[in-house]
Amino acid sequence: MTSKPLRIGISACFFYPDPSRRVFGPKTLLYAEQSMMRWVMDQGAMPFLIPESHPNFAVSDLLEQFDGLLLQGGSDLSPTSYGEEPLRPEWSGDLHRDLYEIALVHAAIAQDKPVLGICRGAQLLNVALGGSLYQDITTQLEGARLHRDAVMYDTLHHDLAIVPDTPLAEMYAHLSHHRVNSVHHQGLRTLGKDLRVEARCPEDDIIEAVRLVPAGHGSANPAPYAFAVQWHPEFQDPQDTALLDRRPILQEFFDAIQQRASR
């Protein structure tokens, strides 16, 4: 690699003060899941954890430091973020993180920095653009298949139905069978503004991929880049050919960054 690596800002997960935790019990932690950082480096870019804004550094100042925004998975969203009350206390989610990441998404789109969302990141992108979620797929969508199992975790898989004539379809046009892992109990319900579905689970129609496609853009005036998937490419073994090759997803995100740099 001769040119400087891309700098990818990764949104943080949070651990809040918890006296039962033996290390940093009374403290709040910002963290990233290891395989997400490794996935980015596997493809030659540098991952960085994005801190919260601070009186000296607004969200837009933080984002200026990065070439793109990667929204990682983790805790549930708070139903408050899409105007609902939690149906069960355990589905209350993480409002603090929602607000932090929603501000990052708006700043990224305003600065024309590409956005890639993974799992919770797909849900967050949808909610940031005004969409809503199933608080719990199993209880709110009759006939839904299992999308998360605490023991099977990322070994739980299902097929993927990719919408024809979309960039995702083009990305995987060489494959006749599409299969992904599944580690989520929430799902996209109503779509956020200008989001288009690019894949669903064929068994229950749960949305598995979305892309921002705002009207009024063309080659002279390119649209902002935001794409998100409900599955976890970062958890995949790159050698595992049973699942969709994870590399094109990150490469498309990197290409979107590089196109902007060369404009």
Contacts of 37 (CB under 8 A, 6+ apart): 10, 47
Kindly determine how many residues on this chain lie close enough to bind Mn ion according to the rule CB under 5 A: 2
Cβ–Cβ < 8 Å for 108, 260 = no
- Contact status: 113 vs Mn ion (CB under 5 A): no
- Contact status: 182 vs Mn ion (CB under 5 A): yes
DSSP letters of 94-123? -HHHHHHHHHHHHHHHHTT--EEEETHHHH
Q: Which stretch binds Mn ion (CB under 5 A): 14-22, 181-189, 211-219, 245-253?
A: 181-189
- Contact status: 181 vs Mn ion (CB under 5 A): no
> In the annotation, is 119 catalytic?
yes
Task: Between 97 and 147, name the residue whose CB sits nearer to Mn ion.
Answer: 147
Task: Between 135 and 182, name the residue whose CB sits nearer to Mn ion.
Answer: 182
Site string for Mn ion, 34-73 (x = CB under 5 A): ----------------------------------------
Task: Between 11 and 182, name the residue whose CB sits nearer to Mn ion.
Answer: 182
> In the annotation, is 234 catalytic?
yes
Minimal distance in Å, beta carbon 262 to Mn ion? Answer: 36
Q: Which stretch binds Mn ion (CB under 5 A): 2-10, 45-53, 139-147, 244-252?
A: 139-147
> In the annotation, is 142 catalytic?
no
CA distances from 15 to 38, 178, 224 (A): 21, 35, 32
Instruction: List, in sequence order, every beta strand (DSSP E) within the chain.
Output: 7-11, 13-15, 29-31, 46-50, 68-71, 115-118, 133-134, 157-159, 161-162, 179-181, 187-188, 195-200, 207-212, 226-229
CA–CA distance, 189 with 136 (Å, rounded to integer): 11
Site string for Mn ion, 144-173 (x = CB under 5 A): ---x--------------------------
- Contact status: 189 vs Mn ion (CB under 5 A): no
Which residue of this chain has its Cβ atom nearest to Mn ion in the complex? 182
CA–CA distance, 70 with 262 (Å, rounded to integer): 21
262, two tokens:
């060369």
CA–CA distance, 259 with 75 (Å, rounded to integer): 32
Task: Between 113 and 184, name the residue whose CB sits nearer to Mn ion.
Answer: 184
Binding residues for Mn ion (CB under 5 A)? 147, 182
Catalytic residues: 119, 232, 234
